[in-house]
Amino acid sequence: MTCQDLLRFDQLPRRLGISPAAAEKRRSRDRFPVPLIRIGGRWFARRRDIEDWEARGGWVQELDRKNG
């Protein structure tokens, strides 16, 4: 990707009638829609997800899966 391509990409939101700040906000929201937490090789979005995982066996189930 050349510098010219980057400039063109950066100007795209303005051509579509979207302010650059709004476009960046939208980009970051798409990239990180919710805060994620990584535990034992799995990604969790909410505390409730973690609690559900622990209620189903959590680490014990994870170790069983790894050990076969």
pLDDT, position 37: 74
CA–CA dist 17, 38 (Å, integer)? 37
- Mean per-residue pLDDT pooled into runs of 10, the chain (68 residues): 54 60 63 65 73 78 71
| pLDDT given for residue 60 in this prediction | 75
Residue with tokens 């505390």: 47
pLDDT at 67: 77
pLDDT value of residue 18: 63
Task: Give CA–CA dist 41/52, Å, rounded.
Answer: 16
Say what the pLDDT of residue 17 is.
65
Could you give the CA distance from residue 64 to residue 22 in angstroms, rounded to a whole number?
A: 46
CA atoms of 33 and 43, how far apart (whole Å): 13
Domains of the chain, by residue range, sit at: 1-33, 37-67
φ/ψ of residue 60, rounded to 5: -60, -45
Please state the pTM of the whole predicted model. 0.32
